Amino acid sequence: MFEFTDKNAISLAEAQKFATNAIDAVQVGIQNDKSKSTINSTVAGTDPLIARLVNNGVANAATIEIDPCKSGREKYYIQTPYVIEDTAVGADDDGEGCCVGTPTVTACRYKLDLHELCVKDCVDSSLDEMLEAEVKQKGIDTRMPWSQIGASIAAKRAAFVAKYAKFIFERNAILGTADYSGNGLRPFNGLVERLTDDRVLKVDGSAGFIASIETLNCRLTAMGMDLGNFLIAVNPIALPTLRQEVRTYLKADPLTDWRMNGDTISYKGMSIVASRYVDVDLEANTTSMWLIDTSKVGIKFVRAITNPYIKRIDSTEDCGGHCITMHNAGTTVVTNWNGLMLINNIALDSICDSLALSGLEGFVNSGVLGHLYPGVTANPGL
């Protein structure tokens, strides 16, 4: 038996370490209301890059077609809009005759395959179904987020699963690749699949953010491309470094094409978009930037991300429950490969590198939804 003597006496503060919170433990009287708890809203909402790409103008212009000569998933495909091009001036001119001939005009488009995505949620038994509809949220109940006092567990579950399905669809839209399955991803031609395509221009970014972007600007200007359609996607942890580089640059050259309005940065009309999906290699202390022309690149989903195709599958067992599956399908549309460029191997600032970010790999990469879902461990090698 433990005796409180001068030798082993403990203070009130020490004793409180082992005590329960009386306000939360007592089931009567005034209690802390936790019924409106939510998953971290900074990463649970729609990623800004997703908002600019999913079912945007070029994605909506692509059509869903069927090939009657094929079967299964292969019979469906997405057809991109035509891109009209002509031959260079003088390419067909042999210098003969009085008149200069007209160029040869070509119209090209791509046939893209699509993949299905699915999220499943199951209730084990009819007893669960019955009681989840009857048990109501209490003030101290934190079993599920997005709920209010008086809501049933079934209603909370539906709201939670809908949010989770949206997150999974968005995550695959950016990080999905055709050959990888695991960690919340399934085979899907996401934006990363297109970024790793050989037709995408890749630039070494070891010279830094500003120098790398201006190098690509030189190329875009030479091609006569409209810079206003481009966005520059960076990981949020890269923004402080980029802002500091721009501030320093503005002091040296106030007439530069870089602009800052508060914390907002732009360059020749190209907006900077912070996305947690942009890769960061914490072992090499490097990150990437993605330049995307939203008039030439989009992510097409058959249905809106918030309105998937839903199936209910009831168990054949007498007291069995059911499963709800939510389905969508799509692909990343690229009508012109010059509209997608990758700058990699950009060094992280020493203030915000792997040492400062130790243990946060899941948050830095892949847009983890709160503390509940794992990050992507497969590195596509950007």
Least confident of 96-110, 129-143, 252-266, 324-338: 129-143
Q: Within a domain: residue 259?
A: yes
Q: Within a domain: residue 230?
A: yes
Q: Within a domain: residue 92?
A: no
pLDDT band at 139 (very low <50, low <70, confident <90, very high): low
Q: Within a domain: residue 181?
A: yes
Contact 54, 305 (CB under 8 A): yes
pLDDT band at 120 (very low <50, low <70, confident <90, very high): very high
Beta strands 264-267 and 258-261 are: antiparallel
Q: Which of 308, 313, 274, 353 is nearest to 51 (CA)?
A: 274
Reported pTM: 0.80
Residue 52 CA to its chain's centroid (Å): 11
Query: What value does the mean pLDDT take over residues 13-30?
Result: 43
Percentage of the residues of the chain whose pLDDT score is greater than 70:
77
Q: Within a domain: residue 313?
A: yes
Structural tokens at position 260: 């800052």
Q: What pairs with residue 323 in β-bridges?
A: 122, 313
Helix 209-222 / helix 239-252 crossing angle, nearest 10 deg? 70
Q: Within a domain: residue 30?
A: no
Taking CA 255 as the corner, what is the angle to CA 254 and CA 260, rounded to the nearest 5 degrees? 65
pLDDT band at 379 (very low <50, low <70, confident <90, very high): very low
| pLDDT tens profile 63-117 | 999 988 988 888 999 998 888 777 777 777 778 889 887 877 877 888 889 999 9
Residue 75's SS3 state is helix
| pLDDT tens profile 261-315 | 888 888 888 889 998 888 888 778 888 899 999 999 999 999 999 999 999 999 9
Q: Within a domain: residue 378?
A: no
Total tally of structural domains belonging to the chain: 1
Percentage of the residues of the chain whose pLDDT score is greater than 90:
30
Number of other residues whose CB lies within 10 A of the CB of residue 68: 6
| pLDDT tens profile 195-235 | 999 999 888 988 888 888 888 888 888 888 877 789 999 98
- Which residues form the domain of 112? 41-84+104-364
Classify residue 135 by its DSSP letter: -
Contact 282, 276 (CB under 8 A): no
The residue among 366 and 275 whose pLDDT is bigger is 275
Q: Within a domain: residue 308?
A: yes
- Helix residue ranges per DSSP H, 124-196: 126-132, 153-175, 191-195
Nearest-angstrom CA–CA distance, 240 and 214: 19
Structural tokens at position 327: 């389905």
Classify residue 54 by its DSSP letter: B
Nearest-angstrom CA–CA distance, 31 and 11: 27
Query: What value does the mean pLDDT take over residues 230-243?
Result: 87
